[in-house]
Amino acid sequence: MPAKVPLLQSGEEKNQRLITKKCFVLSPFSSPFNEYYKGVLAPAIRAADLEPIRADDVYGPVPIINDIVEGIRNSVSLVADVTGRNPNVNYELGLAHAFGRPVVIISQSIEDIPFDYRHLRVVIYDTGQKDWESKLQTSIINNLKNAKTFRPSLSPMLGVPASDSTIGVCGLYEGDTRDFENSLLEAISRSQEIIVFIGWGLAFIAAQNRTLTNALKDHLRAAPKLVAKILMADPAHPGLIARLQEEERVQKEVGIINNWPATFYDFLQRELPGGLTADERRRLCVYRLSYMPTAMVLKLDDRFFFRPYGPPNQGGWASPWLEIDSAYCSEPWLRYLQNFVEFALQDVDDNDGVVSIDDAPKLVPDL
């Protein structure tokens, strides 16, 4: 069952700002490959700013194949050692290709590369050579840092939903989960040019317990060229009013209590400006849309998060999130996301929807 309103815990976890992405390693569970993983592959993956993980690192009651499938799906990239033509590794490599994940393939011999994927780039390493460990690590780091690492298109014959590869999905989250929040925090911390949040509502802001707004303000200080634009539905829009009333009713029924900002302008005046300089307030813009968006779309440089609005009686907190990498996104889907953002920005331009943080006291004289 998807989590409804997960919040970060108090203490160090609450202040966490950067969670590394996972890189799943496919290799035989035997010596010497266990030693290669710990001493060579894992350090190289960490050097590429990724978190290494192998199926035997995961402990739990479910069959190991379940851990492997979830590990592949939840990783942004993989490293596969196909030395010896291990059937398990080749099976898992096929799953990775089916899910559209980029894979760095390594082997001790070109003869261990089956005909089916011999056309792909493979890193060959020779343990008999001097400094083979550092040479292999350098190759792995360079490949992992290369955004164009091979990512195959999905074949309909594989019977895998197109959402796993052709639209560039690199993360799927069942509602406002901890994993979603961590991925969004990382995307914020990496953004250098533009952040656009469309449909970011008060319920979503409250559910994250100010973690995301604080991260956004922190990164504005760290990235002097970054501009962040928050586009929210007009608080007077009848559709928004009806939805908020229905969601509040449902939350009371299931016993969920949120410390929501009292109003749109309360959020504008109290949640955002604290600690910002005049320049940072200029680069953090809040807008009112003249319409109710049909989805939440978050654009952070070349990364998108997309969430369709679910029925109010199910609660928006349970709607799934897709994390999308535009580098691997098909043209029609990328065009849709870009048009969604451009339409919203055009709407606030046409309707003078900008609301300055500095003008908030004038808009809400009683606060």
Mean pLDDT by 10 residues, the chain (367 residues): 30 32 90 95 92 75 69 85 92 82 90 79 92 94 69 42 53 80 87 89 68 86 90 79 73 61 62 77 84 88 84 62 78 86 86 57 39
pLDDT of residue 363: 42
Q: Are residues 29 and 52 in the same domain?
A: yes
Q: Are residues 146 and 287 in the same domain?
A: no
Q: Which of 133, 180, 138 is nearest to 48 (CA)?
A: 138
Q: Are residues 35 and 81 in the same domain?
A: yes
pLDDT of residue 255: 62
pLDDT of residue 81: 96
Q: Is residue 308 part of a domain?
A: yes
Maximum distance among all alpha carbons in the chain?
Answer: 76
d(CA 250, CA 256): 9
- Which CATH number belongs to the domain containing residue 251 in this structure? 3.30.870.10
Domain boundary among the residues 124, 152, 180 is at: 152
d(CA 244, CA 240): 6
Q: What percent of the residues of the chain are helix, what percent strand, and what percent coil, each to the nearest 5?
A: 45, 20, 35
Q: Are residues 187 and 148 in the same domain?
A: no
Domain that holds residue 142: 15-152
The number of folded domains in the chain is 2
DSSP state at residue 38: I
pLDDT of residue 174: 78
pLDDT of residue 52: 93
Q: Please tell me the pTM assigned to this model.
A: 0.57
For residue 323, which phi and psi values (nearest 5 degrees)? -100, 125
d(CA 85, CA 220): 49
Q: Which helix H or strand E contains 231, and what residues bound it? A: strand 227-233
Q: Are residues 129 and 183 in the same domain?
A: no
Q: Are residues 29 and 128 in the same domain?
A: yes
Q: Are residues 119 and 175 in the same domain?
A: no
pLDDT of residue 18: 30
- Provide the CB-side half-sphere exposure for 81 (13 A, CA): 22
Measure the CA dihedral 58/61/64/69, to 10°.
Answer: -80
- Sheet bearing 77-81, strands edge to edge: 50-54, 21-26, 77-81, 103-107, 122-124
pLDDT of residue 269: 63
pLDDT, tens only, 17-41? 233 478 999 999 899 999 999 999 9
Q: Is residue 8 part of a domain?
A: no
Q: Are residues 112 and 201 in the same domain?
A: no
